[in-house]
Amino acid sequence: MLQTFSYVAPDSRKDLLAILNKEGTRAKILAGGTDLMVDIRGGKIAPAFVVDIKKIADLKGVSYSATEGLSIGAVTTCIELVTDKTIVAKFPIIADAASRLGSTQLRNRATIAGNICTASPCADLSCAMLALGASVEIASMTGTRIVKLADFFTGVKTTVIKADELVTRLIVAPELVNAKFGMEKLKRIKGHDLSLASVAVVKTGTLLRVALGSCAPTPIVLPDFPANAPLASILEVAGKTIKPIDDVRASKEYRKMMIMTFIEQIILRL
């Protein structure tokens, strides 16, 4: 049996923000539930209110404009990211990352905002979105703010989000449309598994950006490199930046070696 809580499913953003404002930390947002339900069941959290945001129409959908770039609604699921025509054509790294998350059942439920809000060091979508230099739009009763994803994570499973706030969408600037990319994710098994080490790289005519997962308390992004940066200099910066840990799934030496190997493989390929 799960602990008791009230389920609410507001159908407008305004109603949702009012609930968050009133209940604060007593309320927890439910998107795909693939992290939240595990935490509730495990007793890690005990919300009085579980607030389903999937009934709010304007949190859905993907769109692109030449001025703002790509906008992805908070409750867009992995399977929608894998199949969305705009994403596949213009930002295929996002579809690639989404296709690597969990199993079919999880991809049918897990949302992009849930992935970044969980702030797990191994989150697949977070890593790709960091490489794209994405921004996060955050709303509360008092207004809207935009935060760079690179400044969004504050520690293991913590973010800048306050209890009365909601992530409404993710935005990727148009400069990176059709950028070349490479991604690698190390897992223990071929089937569905969390990453032990992951690397996402995007490259345009002028810029090369590297994001890394499972090698620091949060997913991280290295400072931008020029497109023609030598491999050795990228590896040097990566080596100095990462802080992998030993845990039940892999040793820090193994994680580090695989991060370096993946960076090398991807850079040589791009």
Partner 1 sequence: MKITLTINGREYTRDIAENRTLLRFIREDLGLTGTKEGCGAGECGACTVIVNGKTMNSCLMLAAECSGAVIETIEGESESGELSKMQQAFHKHHAVQCGFCTPGMIMSVKALVKKNPKPTVHQIQEAIEGNFCRCTGYTQIIEAVQAGTDQRDEQEELRRV
Ligand X SMILES: Cc1cc2nc3c(=O)[nH]c(=O)nc-3n(C[C@H](O)[C@H](O)[C@H](O)COP(=O)(O)OP(=O)(O)OC[C@H]3O[C@@H](n4cnc5c(N)ncnc54)[C@H](O)[C@@H]3O)c2cc1C
- Chain contacts with partner 1 (rule: CB under 8 A): 1-7, 9, 30, 33-34, 37-38, 41-42, 50, 52, 54, 79, 102-106, 108-109, 191-192
Cβ 28 to ligand X shortest distance, Å: 5
Question: Rounded to whole angstroms, what are the CA distances from 94 to 11, 14, 67, 113, 137?
Answer: 28, 29, 20, 13, 18
With CB cut-offs between 5 and 8 Å by kind, which of ligand X, partner 1, none does residue 71 bind?
none
Interacting residues with ligand X between 33 and 72 (CB under 6 A): 33-36, 38, 53
76 binds ligand X (CB under 6 A): no
The interface partner of residue 6, options being partner 1, ligand X, none and the CB cut-off 5 to 8 Å by kind, is partner 1
Answer with the entry of ligand X, partner 1, none that 118 interacts with (C-beta below 5 to 8 A by kind): ligand X
β-bridge mates for residue 144, sequence order: 139
Instruction: Say if residue 99 is exposed, middle or buried (CB neighbours under 10 Å; 0-12, 13-18, 19+).
Output: middle
Alpha-carbon distance 235 to 268, whole Å? 12
Q: Which stretch binds ligand X (CB under 6 A): 114-122, 140-148, 216-224, 256-264?
A: 114-122
Contact 74, 13 (CB under 8 A): no
User: Of 102 and 133, which CB lies nearer to partner 1 in the complex structure?
Assistant: 102
Mark the segment that binds ligand X (CB under 6 A) among 7-15, 65-73, 113-121, 226-234.
113-121
Smallest distance from ligand X to CB 139, Å: 9
Q: Output the smallest distance, CB 19 to partner 1, in A.
A: 15
Instruction: Find the binding residues for ligand X in span 116-145 (CB under 6 A).
Output: 117-118, 123-124
3-class secondary-structure state, position 125: helix
Q: Please state the closest distance from residue 170 (CB atom) to partner 1, in A.
A: 22
Distance CA 112, CA 169 (A): 9
Distance CA 54, CA 263 (A): 37
Q: Tell me if 27 contacts ligand X by CB under 6 A.
A: no
- Taking the complex as a whole, the smallest distance from the CB of residue 124 to ligand X amounts, in Å, to 4
With 0-12 / 13-18 / 19 or more C-beta atoms within 10 angstroms meaning exposed / middle / buried, residue 161 is buried
Element (H, E) at 221: strand 220-221
> Quick one: tokens of 231?
């491999």
